[in-house]
Amino acid sequence: MTKGTCLCGAVQYDVDGPFNSMVSCHCSMCRKHHGAAFATFAGAPIGGFRWLRGESELDSYESSVQGTRSFCRHCGSVGPTLLPDMGIVLCPAGNLEGDLGIKPQAHWFVGSKAPWFAITDSLPQHAAYPPEFGMPGLERDRAEVKAGVVAGACLCGDVRFELEGAPSRMWHCHCSRCRRARSAAHASNVFYKFAQLRILRGADRIADYKVPEARLFGVAFCRRCGSDVPRAVRERDVVVVPGGSLDQDPGIRALAHIFVTSKAPWEDITDTTPQYPEAPPA
């Protein structure tokens, strides 16, 4: 039995596997919704799925005619997708606890991969869906490119923003909070100064959730679609930007993997980026 939970704990469920499929998706919609470099989903027979609490705490957004994405209305974590006609449930692996008895089997939609992220493992790669699916891919409209500016938006487009100038740093964070917040293998956070962020529209559509027991940790997300968006903290003069929310290359690469002692058991780090067991050096 595997337990899944959102960041705030309002939504919880059990999956009595076995998990029989696991893929990492790099499409622009998954990157937007999760705010991550990619989303990883684990599939299992739907008969072994049950809600423990919080099914009514989920909101949903129809991202295309092919699918609807759910998320916790309190913290923005992505919810599982139940497909009764196919007899399966697809769970965002970042919200599952423990060893799943399976590891990712392939990368999908690498034709849409984030320009700042490199795939370094030996898993099969598909430009869109694998050929046997016989389905075309869907993509979002790309934002206008401006010199010296990086644009971004949520999946539904209600929230749009720009960041002017160079970021200060970027981390791949594997802590359990980041994995639950992004509902992904890890968070890829880009850091800017407070004054570098301009919210072009949708400031009133942004929800902010802070983990009560944490000194600093929090997330911001679009109330309509659940996508992670920049979280600005004036007092600390920092903006934490989910890499997946960006429409363009920020011109920086991750300096390190941090909190790797909390890494998901199913994720293998295969690149040469430095790794730190906990927080990076000051």
Give a yes or no: residue 201 inside a domain.
Answer: yes
pLDDT value of position 67? 83
Give a yes or no: residue 278 inside a domain.
Answer: no
Of residues 132 and 125, more confidence is placed in: 125
Which residue range is the domain that position 42 belongs to? 2-132
Tell whether pTM > 0.85.
Answer: yes
Confidence band, pLDDT 50/70/90 cuts, at residue 148: confident
Give a yes or no: residue 189 inside a domain.
Answer: yes
Q: How many domains does the chain have?
A: 2
Give a yes or no: residue 270 inside a domain.
Answer: no
Give a yes or no: residue 272 inside a domain.
Answer: no
Give a yes or no: residue 271 inside a domain.
Answer: no
- Tens digits of per-residue pLDDT, 186-229? 999 999 999 999 999 999 999 999 999 988 899 999 999 999 99
pLDDT value of position 5? 98
Kindly state whether residues 206 and 108 are assigned to the same domain.
no
Kindly state whether residues 188 and 250 are assigned to the same domain.
yes
pLDDT value of position 136? 60
Kindly state whether residues 85 and 202 are assigned to the same domain.
no
What mean pLDDT comes out for the span 157-163? 97
pLDDT value of position 134? 58
Separation of CA 164 from chain center: 23
- Tens digits of per-residue pLDDT, 5-27? 999 999 999 999 899 999 999 99
Q: What percent of the chain has pLDDT over 90?
A: 88
Kindly state whether residues 12 and 117 are assigned to the same domain.
yes
Kindly state whether residues 110 and 225 are assigned to the same domain.
no
Kindly state whether residues 116 and 14 are assigned to the same domain.
yes
Kindly state whether residues 122 and 206 are assigned to the same domain.
no
* CATH number for the domain harbouring residue 174: 2.170.150.70
Confidence band, pLDDT 50/70/90 cuts, at residue 143: low
- Tens digits of per-residue pLDDT, 27-85? 999 999 999 999 999 999 999 999 999 999 999 999 887 789 999 999 999 999 999 99
Kindly state whether residues 108 and 171 are assigned to the same domain.
no
Q: How many CA atoms lie within 13 A of 265 on its CB side?
A: 7
Least confident of 4-8, 101-105, 141-145, 223-227: 141-145
pLDDT value of position 92? 98
Kindly state whether residues 87 and 163 are assigned to the same domain.
no
Kindly state whether residues 126 and 169 are assigned to the same domain.
no
How many Å apart are CA 34 and CA 117, to the nearest integer? Answer: 15
Give a yes or no: residue 26 inside a domain.
Answer: yes
Give a yes or no: residue 208 inside a domain.
Answer: yes
pLDDT value of position 64? 84
Residue 131 has pLDDT above 90, yes or no: no
Kindly state whether residues 49 and 162 are assigned to the same domain.
no
Least confident of 127-136, 156-165, 233-242, 263-272: 127-136
pLDDT value of position 104? 98
Kindly state whether residues 18 and 127 are assigned to the same domain.
yes
